[in-house]
Structure 1
């Protein structure tokens, strides 16, 4: 059985406490021992190195140098990192070391809450197994992304809300390596209600399990 740590906080609009409770239940169902913290000081704990998985749910805010250094070191040495939407992809905007690890950073969501389509690009990947293209109602994240990401799903911007990005194909779901650690990210999941969408929930659940360091 693997140990997982959820750290939630930051901007309340993403409902971090509610989302953390849902994610904790999902991980427990997968057999994880789950701990939950509400301060970035948890990232400075030397015990991070012994975990199987870390899930940040901490939009914006700040992370101290010793905290991000310890977090990055733990992942480089094999601890899994997984998250979703702004809780991972728009956390700690000034911490480039954190963004380097995650593989991307949110920069805009033109039109705010809109209808858009998610296109599965790697139907052969176990995380996306049985999931076809689907419609989604939320923020369509425009992100700066690392070209080394292994992209599993994308979305295409219509240009309706920002004409200069018409036709831009943007990653929605990806996985990557950071040293020895596995990193998973999905931009879906603005608020807790979105966990009711089967595709969103399934993709995140599988992604977290994939990212987790496997016990011998």
Structure 2
């Protein structure tokens, strides 16, 4: 049976959600998914939501109705995969703790805005990370509130140049986790669509989405 993926995009336009959605849809189609794109969180109230193998949220700084987050959470808890990146998954609904509980983290700052930093691979033997070494990256370096239940696959270390009190602090960049029976994958990389063409970022995201979909 063909795998089914749902991409829901919207919210703050600075993250280029439509452009990112189109790129991710093409990636998933290359990997054998049938892809549905929606630009409203009303899609999460569809009774057939649980028929999808994978949901990719791409909504930043927005709001969500109670029945929408319940529909999404119930689908993931029942076994649908959830995977995404940057603020499009981890800065979606700042007032909705049930959503944050599912994702495993919430963005709170990116000191210095667009800067150069290093992504450090912490689990090189994990299938998502195999063959990928530490790599330099230029983007927002996300400082996040994170769930200690996450299985962290990559981190970054803050230099303190832009906020001296966090010098030396190590922050998760990529993680995977469970929510009920569902697999959840997250990467904080990917501020704008052009970053989806960075080989290491693209490979990590692609593998993470397939892992979440149980492929």
TM-score normalised per structure 2: 0.99
1:213 deviates by: 4.2
What is the distance in 2 between the residues matched to 1:199 and 1:80?
22
1:130-149 matches, within 5 Å, as 130-149=131-150
Q: Which residue of 1 aligns with 2:165?
A: 164
- Unaligned runs of at least 5 residues, structure 2: none
SS at match of 2:118: strand
Q: Which residue of 2 aligns with 1:82?
A: 83
Q: Which residue of 1 aligns with 2:64?
A: 63
What is the distance in 1 between the residues matched to 2:80 and 2:40?
19
1:49 deviates by: 1.0
What is the distance in 2 between the residues matched to 1:49 and 1:198?
31
Deviation sequence 1:181-212 (CA, Å, 0-9, x none): 00000000000010121000000000000001
- Unaligned runs of at least 5 residues, structure 1: none
What is the distance in 2 between the residues matched to 1:117 and 1:152?
14
SS at match of 2:29: helix
What is the distance in 2 between the residues matched to 1:43 and 1:143?
25
Runs ≥4 residues deviating over 4 A:
none
Q: Which residue of 2 aligns with 1:201?
A: 202
Q: Residues 79 and 213 of structure 1 are in contact (CA less than 8 Å); yes or no, is this contact kept in structure 2?
A: no
Q: Which residue of 2 aligns with 1:109?
A: 110
Q: Count how many residue pairs are aligned between Structure 1 and Structure 2.
A: 214
Q: What root-mean-square deviation, in Å, do the aligned CA atoms of Structure 1 and Structure 2 show?
A: 0.6
